[in-house]
Amino acid sequence: MISIGIDVGTTAVKAIAMDPDGAVSGGAFREYDVISGERGLAEQDSAAVWRHTKDVIGSVIAQCEDRRLIRAFSISVQGDAVIPVDRNLKPLHNAVLGMDYRSKKQSAFLAEKFGEKYLYQKTGMRPHPMNSAAKILWFIEERPHVARKTWKYMTYADYMISLLGAEEPVIDYTMASRTMLFSLEEEAWMGEILDAMGLDAAKLSRPAASGTAAGVLGGALMDEWGLTSPVTLVTGGHDQTCAAVGAGVIREHIAVDSCGTAEVIGAAFKRRPLKNVMFESFYPCYCHAVKGMHFTFSLNHTAGMLLKWYRDNFCAEEVREAAGGNVYAVMEKKCSAGPSSVFVLPHFNGSGTPWCDLGSRGAFLGLTMSTGRHDITRGIMDSLAYELKINLGKLCEAGIAANELRAAGGGANSPLWLQIKADVTGCAVSTLRVREAASLGAAILGLLGAGFSTLEEAVKKAVHIDRTFTPNPGMAARYGEKFSIYQKIYGALREINSLMFAEKKNF
């Protein structure tokens, strides 16, 4: 049999086909747009995303030699988007994405009403405009004409599985527990929060564990794609938890490093930490796609994005030399052999965890007349690894220790950067044979829900290490000296950056 894993991301949808032995037999990819605007607007045409998703699924099916073997679909999705739909699943408004911050007032109301720590204790989420709860309240207060017509407020998880033909709207626990409306202890919607919002629980989908069969593929889609055997629709999960499954992070002490535009370190754990470190460091605590486990992640907004910014503004010579090839490989080839003398505070869009300081700003330190742009290239990669080490240290303080990193995303294609991460963090850093970890994780959950495998068996067969980078003792010692300086930079610049941020807001 074949399971198709679909990853509906913020800017693209991907899918792969996989059999129970872990063999990937097809893949496809489509990009789409984000609608940005003033006052924090970030929306998306969810109907268009569905059309692209259908195209991708159709393309993957066409690559399968025997379509009769296709027996399961499961979905990995971007987090925190809210889509109000009518009874016919027609969107009544563009999807309001996680990065849309127009619900600041509603987030502040929920924080004041319940208290930030109480909400975190119960739901695992700190009040923030990105939360689905704040966005739904924004619809109720700011778009009442939409709210009155809304049958369900959906995420991409329940929206997609419903369109595919699920028996009823169902949302997996990983996505439900990201809304700040879901009790982690009871695994159910929290009535007291819904009541404060004036929201009926009937306007939300039924929660179910990841890997749960939710119906079969609709007949019209079966005909459209030329399928004859029943296809089980299986609940998937948040893209970070699916990527963790696709990287084999189904037990403690391993973390997945998803490094692309941003860098996310995801880790699994069984018992919820009682310490305040997670709350104070802005680490969420929500359901893992693995039954009985929880999940958290750190976030650095600018990882690959910062290298791209530097490439576009300062590396025209390397762009010409690459002649349409891999510019980053050319940039890295010219880097110095050891740690850079340049420190880079990569807070070009505010800081990520563990500070989440919107007023922080980027900085280059240690420049001299002898500094070359390749020293800065290395300094960017070094400093991003220092940020990674800071977050791993905070997670360890919370009782979530990782001694191995599994690399996914575009950053996994840079041997130099992976070795730097190993030297800086002291962790083994491994790449994966299948780099599309979120799609792979969804396909694994599809096997589970369709009854063709256990999670452990599927991960063992499907997830394979490609290459491992281990710390170099001599280089690690040199980086240790550099890190002792780096970890003081944010605090030293915090007051200056706050003044600059305040001045900008006054104009």
Say what the pLDDT of residue 505 is: 52
Q: What is the pLDDT of residues 229-256, one digit of tens each?
A: 999 999 999 999 999 999 999 999 999 9
Q: How far is CA 262 from CA 94, 329, 347, 425, 436, in A?
A: 24, 19, 12, 18, 16
Q: What is the pLDDT of residues 381-412, one digit of tens each?
A: 999 999 999 999 999 999 999 999 999 988 99
Say what the pLDDT of residue 498 is: 83
Domains of the chain, first to last = 2-241 (3.30.420.40)
Residue 417 near residue 340, CB atoms below 8 Å? no
Say what the pLDDT of residue 273 is: 83
Say what the pLDDT of residue 359 is: 87
Q: What is the pLDDT of residues 80-106, one digit of tens each?
A: 999 999 999 999 999 999 989 899 999
Q: What is the mean pLDDT of the chain?
A: 95
Tokens of 18: 């996989």
Pairing of strands 232-238, 70-77: parallel
What mean pLDDT comes out for the span 128-151?
97
DSSP 273: P
Q: Distance (Å, rounded) from C-alpha 267 to C-alpha 73? A: 25
With bands split at pLDDT 50, 70 and 90, how would you rate the model's confidence at 125?
A: very high
Say what the pLDDT of residue 503 is: 57
Q: Encode 466-503: b = buried (16+ Cβ within 10 Å), e = exposed.
A: eeebebeeebeeebeebbeebeebbeebbeebeeeeee
Q: Encode 293-318: b = buried (16+ Cβ within 10 Å), e = exposed.
A: bbbbbbbbbbbbbbbeebbeeebeeb
Q: What is the pLDDT of residues 272-323, one digit of tens each?
A: 887 899 999 999 999 999 999 999 999 998 899 999 999 999 999 999 999 9
Say what the pLDDT of residue 453 is: 87
DSSP 398: T
Say what the pLDDT of residue 295 is: 98
Residues in the chain: 507
Has residue 504 got a pLDDT over 90?
no
CA 347 to chain CA mean position, Å? 19
Residue holding tokens 């992070």? 249
Residue 327 near residue 366, CB atoms below 8 Å? no
With bands split at pLDDT 50, 70 and 90, how would you rate the model's confidence at 507?
A: very low
Q: What is the pLDDT of residues 252-268, one digit of tens each?
A: 999 999 998 889 999 99
Q: In what order do the strands lie in the sheet with 263-269?
A: 286-287, 294-300, 263-269, 254-259, 404-408, 428-432, 465-469
Q: Distance (Å, rounded) from C-alpha 85 to C-alpha 151? A: 6
Q: What is the pLDDT of residues 159-182, one digit of tens each?
A: 999 999 999 999 999 999 999 999
Q: What is the pLDDT of residues 191-237, one digit of tens each?
A: 999 999 999 999 999 999 999 999 999 999 999 999 999 999 999 99
Q: Distance (Å, rounded) from C-alpha 252 to C-alpha 320? A: 45
DSSP 215-234: EE--HHHHHHTT--S--EEE
Residue 504 near residue 358, CB atoms below 8 Å? no
How buried is residue 95: exposed, middle or buried, by Cβ count under 10 Å (0-12/13-18/19+)?
Answer: buried
Say what the pLDDT of residue 367 is: 97
Helix (H) or strand (E) segment spanning residue 203: none
Q: Distance (Å, rounded) from C-alpha 238 to C-alpha 224? A: 28
Percent of the chain residues past pLDDT 90, beyond the cut? 90
252/39: higher pLDDT: 252
Say what the pLDDT of residue 261 is: 83
Say what the pLDDT of residue 38 is: 85
Helix (H) or strand (E) segment spanning residue 161: helix 156-164
Has residue 506 got a pLDDT over 50?
no
Residue 432 near residue 245, CB atoms below 8 Å? no
pTM of the model: 0.93
Has residue 36 got a pLDDT over 60?
yes
Percent of the chain residues past pLDDT 70, beyond the cut? 99
Nearest to 71 by CA among 220, 208, 222, 172: 222
Q: Distance (Å, rounded) from C-alpha 195 to C-alpha 185? A: 19
Has residue 464 got a pLDDT over 70?
yes
